[in-house]
Amino acid sequence: MVTVEPMEEKGIQISLESSVEKQFGEQIRQVISETLAKLGVEAAQITAVDKGALDCTIQARTITAVHRASETETYDWKEIRSWNA
């Protein structure tokens, strides 16, 4: 699960709770950070609870959380799919 809260000051803060944090915590944070950068998010508090999801799942959950938090109703899925091409 990924939740996004806006922050007034620029910066990204990631709070991660994961059963695999010792092995993959850095990778999970990197996937979240890269996804936020591609979406143009510059100020957010991210809370992620992970039980060993794949990178593509973490990316999809981050994208969804950002779109829901921003109340965006349209998505450019072709552009998002090209990130992994």
Contact indicator for 2, 65 with CB cutoff of 8 Å: yes
Does a structural domain hold residue 80? Answer: no
Does a structural domain hold residue 62? Answer: yes
Range of the domain at 55: 2-73
Does a structural domain hold residue 78? Answer: no
* Higher per-residue pLDDT: 62 or 81: 62
Q: So what's the pLDDT on residue 81?
A: 67
Model pLDDT for residues 3-38, shown as the tens digit of each residue: 999 899 999 999 999 999 999 999 999 999 999 999
Using the predicted structure, report yes or no on whether residue 1 has a pLDDT greater than 80.
yes
Give every CB contact of residue 69 below 8 A, 6+ residues apart in sequence.
3, 4, 5, 6, 44
Model pLDDT for residues 44-64, shown as the tens digit of each residue: 999 999 999 999 999 999 999
Q: So what's the pLDDT on residue 73?
A: 72
Q: Model-level pTM?
A: 0.87
Does a structural domain hold residue 12? Answer: yes
Does a structural domain hold residue 83? Answer: no
Structure token digits, residue 71: 């109340």
Calpha distance 55→68 (Å, rounded):
20
Q: How many domains does the chain have?
A: 1
